[in-house]
Amino acid sequence: MKRIFEVAVDGGPYALAAGSDGAMWVTLVHRGAIARVTPDGDLEVYQVAENSKPSIITAGPDGALWFTRAGDDRIGRISTAGELAAFELPDGSTPFGITTGPDGALWFTATGSGVVGRISVDGEITEVAAPGGMPSMITTGPDNALWFTLNQANAIGRLDRGTVTLRKVPTPGAGPVGIAGTHDDAVWFTAILADKIGRIPMNEAMQELELPGKPHAVTADPSGGVWVSLWGADQIAHVSADGEVATIDLPAGSEPHGMAIGPDGALWVALEAGFVMRLPTA
């Protein structure tokens, strides 16, 4: 297994995703750009647009990377060759979360308009639901429905064939943000204002666990449990399916946000302070 390393990336690394080319693709929210980082630490940067605020990024079903542009109300696409395209949304949409859905399209949240939308790989956009409540991050669950956090409604939404159902978070004012589907037939989410992580088994009650440090993003660990970025504590936490917590300290002021498992099986973390970090998980 390769060593832990950091790659300096100017511009506020915020979220990342593994590309079909074996590299990690990173949004640079303050620079208006997308970075490509290889497992050997090579770096390329592709300028998107000033003040476009690239936010969340995901691998698309077409082999390209798709990302939200929260600063200028667009959905962006970048091929692994660095070719860029953009698709406009209504003014004030403020897109944020994005994921590949079970239907071969991309699904996104719009925090400004309160919409959950769909964009085909051909760029056709449909507003599927408007739950309000500032929908934030979104994921495909183990039940092949779309699950998303409602930051201001203190709820988790589920979208299936156009129908939205909401499940309230037990802790008031929890501020749910990150969300991930896992192989243990559950959906996990972070509650940044309550210092908690939540787990939703498909047919059971929602569970909550104390996790101080302003948990922000969550991603499934292929070996079991989840990884969580503790933005306020400059830490990464691993939470097992049984609720056991282990933490990894990062340098002070790192501001960890997005995380993803790379093609090499390592955990990659976007540090808004200006680095992309690779952490072997075995």
Amino acid (one-letter) located at 181:
G
CA nearest neighbour of 258 among 7, 28, 4: 28
User: Of the listed 30, 216, 238, 257, which one is catalytic?
Assistant: 257
DSSP 90-144: -TT--EEEEEE-TTSSEEEEETTTTEEEEE-TT--EEEEE---S-EEEEEE-TTS
Give the Å distances, CA to CA, from 51 to 33, 62, 75, 150.
9, 27, 14, 25
Q: Is 104 left (phi over 0), alpha (psi -120 to 50) or beta?
A: left
Please indicate whether residue 257 is annotated as part of the active site. yes
Catalytic annotation, residues: 257
